[in-house]
Structure 1
Amino acid sequence: MMTHPKAALLAVFFGGALLGGCAATAKTETASGAPLARQIAQSAHCGLVAPGHLLIRNEAELARLSSLPGRNLSLAPFRQIDFRQETLVLVAQGQKPTGGYAITLEESAILDEELVLTVSERSPEPGSMVTQALTTPCAAIAVTAEGWNDIRITHRENNR
């Protein structure tokens, strides 16, 4: 079957335009130009013994943090959050056998209503001098409360 060259060219053009229109665009700031996420605290003793993340969407959920065993994380910076505009995310590395571990926000984006936070995780170099104490490192990140329905944390290992 022979296809007219102009028809083939139009099919390629419109097919490409349709596919290009379907491609998702990542949002990296709020409508007012503010960053989607900002790290507001970091601690080696958050009290969260399992790796993962914890969403805190209101004052009542924030108050429950004070009951975490082994927590040495000041809640004062978190009380400055306006929960109508932001959500607090604690990203935890879980319990570690020594000091020298940390987690830091690298970047954030919203893609297809999913908030993607990229964090770097630091661990001590083998043989380095570290404190001999159990730690529960985490990062506290304030994120915009709008534009996303799900959250994904991606990790980069960063031994410095």
Structure 2
Amino acid sequence: MIRIRWFAGLLASAALTGCAAIGSSGPVVTASLSSSHCGFTAEGLTLVSSESDWQQLQQDRVGALPPWPARDDRSMLVISMGERPTGGYSIEMRDARIRDELLVIDVLVERPGGGMVSQALTTPCAILNVPSEGWDEVVVKDKTDNLFYQKL
């Protein structure tokens, strides 16, 4: 009977430890912002790995950027569609994962349909809070697996 209690206690302890490890890790990537007016006129990816660089980038923008991550092991990744001639463009993160040191980000990209759109310059982007380590290449692709951006 004592062996059963000891084994049950050991099993419960292992289960609780496993849950704590899973729960404390949190998501790999979180979306900090998705906007049609980010102020990034060039299309592509921008990885910012220091708070001072993030503040400098913020000074060069018209719109407000999200705050720098509170954790030291995080960076910010900007996925910009560049300057667009009308409204109706957007980009939004759907899923992200790290596999074999490759950060794969699935996005939903929308473009204006055949109807009326606003005649205003837009600069759509998604800004993501990403881990600073564990990957050395990023791939951004849309729902049809078309490569949207890739950066080594």
Scaled by the length of structure 2, the TM-score of the pair is 0.72
Deviation at 1:32, TM superposition (A): 3.2
Are 1:90 and 1:138, in contact at CA under 8 Å, matched by a contact in 2? Answer: yes
* Deviation readout 1:106-143 (Å, 9 max, x if unpaired): 1111111111111111111112x322111110011111
Rate the CA distance shift 1:44–1:65 in 2: closer, same or farther, 3 A: same
CA displacement at 1:82 relative to structure 2? 2.6
Helix, strand or coil at the partner of 2:142? strand
**Distance of 2:80 and 2:71 partners within structure 1:** 21
Cross-structure match for 1:93: 81
Gaps of 5+ in 2: 1-21, 145-152
Match for residue 151 of structure 1 among 128, 138, 152: 138
- CA radius of gyration, larger in: 1
Cα distance per residue 1:33-65 (max 9 Å; x no partner): 411111111221212122111111111110121
Aligned residues of 1:57 and 1:83 also touching (Cα < 8 A): no
CA RMSD of aligned residues (A): 2.0
Which of structure 1's runs of 4+ aligned residues deviate more than 4 A? none
Structure 1, unpaired ranges of 5+? 1-29
State the shift of 1:31 in Å: 8.2
Structure-1 residue corresponding to 2:113: 125
Q: Residue type matched to 1:74 in 2?
A: A
State TM-score, norm by structure 1.
Answer: 0.69
Query: Are 2:63 and 1:73 equivalent residues in the alignment?
Result: yes
Aligned to 2:51: 59
Between the two proteins, the alignment pairs up a number of residues equal to 123
- The structure 2 residue matched to 1:109, chosen from 72, 91, 97, is 97
Greater alpha carbon shift after TM alignment, 43-52 vs 97-106: 43-52
Q: Structure 2 counterpart of 1:39, which letter?
A: A
The residue aligned with 1:44 is 36
